[in-house]
Amino acid sequence: MYNLKGKTAIVTGSGRIDGIGEAIVLKLAEQGCNVVISDIGVAQGENFSEEHIGTTDDMETIVKKAKNKGVNATAIVCDIRFEDQVADLVKKTRDSFGSVDIMVNNAGVGYIMEPFQEFKEKSWDAVLDVNLKGAFLCSKHAAIAMIDQGKGGAIINIASQAAKSGFPFAAAYTASKHGMIGLTRSNAVELGAHKIRVNAVCPNHITTGLGHWQNKFFSEKLGQDYDDYLQAIVDKNPLKRTGLVEDIAKAVAFLASDQADYITGEAMNVSGGEEYH
Q: Could you give the C-alpha distances from 220 to 102, 104, 109, 216, 217, in angstroms and in order?
A: 39, 33, 20, 6, 5
Q: Which among 176, 175, 197, 173 has a CA at the least distance from the CA of 187?
A: 197
Q: How many residues does the chain have?
A: 277
> Would you say the C-alpha torsion 127, 133, 136, 141 has a positive or negative sign?
negative
Q: Which residues pair with 270 in a beta bridge?
A: 203
The three-class DSSP label of residue 26 is: helix
Of 173, 229, 262, 276, which is the active-site residue?
A: 173
Phi, psi of 212 (to 5 degrees): -60, -40
Q: Is 2 a catalytic residue?
A: no
Q: How far is CA 180 from the centre of its chain?
A: 11
* Residues labelled catalytic: 173
